[in-house]
Amino acid sequence: MIKKSLLAFFITAALTPATVAADEQQDVKAQLELLKAQIARLEARLAQQEAATADAKTVTVVEEVEIAATEPAEKKADGIRVGGAIRTNFSHTSYSDGNKNRGGDFDFDIFRLNLHGSVGDVTLDAEIRFFDYMTAIKYAYVGYQLSENWQTQAGIIQVPFGNWPYNSHNYFFSTNYYLGLEDDFDLGILFKRQIADNWQLDVGFFKNDELGGVDGYVEDRADRYSYDIVGGRVGNEGIYADPSYAIGEYNTLSGRFAYHTEFAGVKTELGISALAGGLHDGRQRAGDYNAFGLHLNSHYGRWNLQLQHTEYNYNLDDTTRIAVGAYAFYDSIAAEAKSITANIAYSLPVQWGPVTGLQFYNNYGLVYDKSDGTADTMMNVAGFSVAAGGLFTYFDLVHARNQPFVGGSAAGNSDDTERRFNINIGYYF
């Protein structure tokens, strides 16, 4: 409309002679003023329409945001994820002449499968490990969130005791692991209070060990991941002999209380743990056992410090040494002893090709004041771990006396310090 009026105006102006009459000139001026007024009105209407369009778009966007905010979040689909690991191991030792002569040995370690997920409100976690010499379930349990802060787990679950979940940083754990007091799993039920108001609590009742107790239907009671009591050593029975007097733990109550605090940038967990239960010989109660521990776990920047003092006691008549089983062989420990552990670690994030993290550590453990009168057990592990994509590798240099897997036994009586250089390479998926 505007373009046609302007075109008519310019054509008229162009065709008007210079000698046009005065009255005609006045008519042209009047038409020009009229066109200017029409243009102004049209521009005003156009601005109003543009503003209305913008407002409509804004309203639409706001409505969409409000609708999205009020719609419930999409519930995660039920399902069980499958993962696992394949690990190999290299070792060079001071206590095997054949190993030294060969320049060390490289062996298959484990193949493992992990299950994790949920169906409805019930979660599932499980891990089974396949070795050349045995198959063992490390854990298998279901969980349910009772409330905002409380969760329950039932099945083969970790016994709450000491620095959690590990009292170590290296591949060999601490000396407590070989006493059944670190990363130990039994059959029972656990109630976990998550951190709230700076404190947390784990309380569990365990009917028996993960293989069904003293008379569980298993082919070999040593085919297990966790160290547990399997018998009492009587007479001159050998340290590594199959126990002639079978014993199993049952009806164990375990609790772990931890308080979290922060001061001057240092985050610390202070805790106390205790457990007590019965010992059964398959026919009747044969005794009882108990343990307690004081522990500290501090983080300052990239540094981590772990300290723990532990005491345990297996009360069996006229028995100062007991048999334990794990990894398809039997070993022995004192029926009563104390232990201390001190660990320090430094974590370093890096970007070296696939390598994304390094952790350097030194872990020290000592088992002393043993009821069987044998020498102290000592283990010091200095090393570092490397994370690179799915690969996770430990490089450990171990010095130890009377330590399982390092040329000795926790019931040994040697003064010699043995050495083991170990590389464990695992691919996790």
- pLDDT band of 41, cuts 50, 70, 90: low
- 47 or 61, which is more confident? 47
The predicted pLDDT at position 385 comes to 98
pLDDT tens digits, 213-230: 999 999 999 999 999 999
In this predicted structure, what is the pLDDT of residue 5? 43
Q: What is the CATH number of the domain that holds 345?
A: 2.40.160.10
pLDDT at residue 18 in the model:
39
Instruction: DSSP for 88-125, please give it.
Output: EEEEEESS-HHHHHHT-EEEEEEEEEEEEEEETTEEEE
158: pLDDT confidence band, cut at 50, 70 and 90?
A: very high
Residues 64 and 171 in one domain: no
- The pLDDT score that the predictor gives to residue 47 is 52
Phi, psi values for residue 33, rounded to 5°: -65, -40
| Identity of residue 380 | N
Q: What is the C-alpha separation between 223 and 353, in angstroms, rounded?
A: 40
Looking at the structure, tell me whether residues 181 and 59 fall in a common domain: no
Domain membership of residue 51 as a residue range: 2-70
Indicate whether 228 and 334 sit together in one domain: yes
What average pLDDT does this structure show over 238-264?
A: 97
The whole-number pLDDT of residue 77 equals: 75
What pLDDT is attached to residue 281?
96
Residues 16, 148 within the same domain: no
> Which helix or strand (DSSP H or E) is residue 32 part of?
helix 22-70
Q: What is the average pLDDT score of the chain?
A: 88
CB-CB contact of 246 with 211 (8 Å): no
Given 47, 70, 93, which residue is the final one in a domain?
70
Reading the block at residue 317, the tokens are 């008549």
181: three-class secondary structure by DSSP? coil
Same domain membership, residue 55 and residue 152: no
**Same-domain pairing of 164 and 46:** no
What pLDDT is recorded for position 318? 87
pLDDT, position 14: 39
Say if pTM beats, i.e. exceeds, 0.85. Answer: no
Asked whether the predicted pLDDT for residue 11 surpasses 60, the reply is no
Percent of the chain topping pLDDT 90: 80
Are 16 and 145 found together in one domain?
Answer: no
Q: Is residue 341 pLDDT above 90, yes or no?
A: yes
Q: What is the mean pLDDT of residues 105-121?
A: 97
Question: Would you state the pLDDT for residue 247?
Answer: 97
If one counts the domains in the chain, the total is 2
Of the candidates 423, 380, 374, the one whose C-alpha atom is nearest the C-alpha of residue 400 is 380
Predicted confidence band of residue 342 (pLDDT cuts 50, 70, 90): very high
**Same domain? 57 vs 125:** no
- Of 20, 51, 70, the domain-final residue: 70
pLDDT band at 54 (very low <50, low <70, confident <90, very high): very low
Which candidate, 167, 173, 171, places its Cα nearest to that of 293? 167
Both 51 and 180 in one domain: the answer is no
What does the pLDDT look like over 292-310, one tens digit per residue? 999 999 999 999 999 999 9
Q: Residues 54, 150: one domain?
A: no
My answer on whether 139 and 213 are in the same domain is yes
**Does 57 have pLDDT greater than 50?**
no
Where a domain ends, among 70, 96, 116?
Answer: 70
Q: Is residue 232 located within the same domain as residue 337? A: yes
pLDDT of residue 153: 98
Mean pLDDT, residues 124-150: 97
pLDDT at 43 over 80: no
Q: What is the pLDDT of residue 180?
A: 98
Whether 69 shows a pLDDT value over 80: the answer reads no
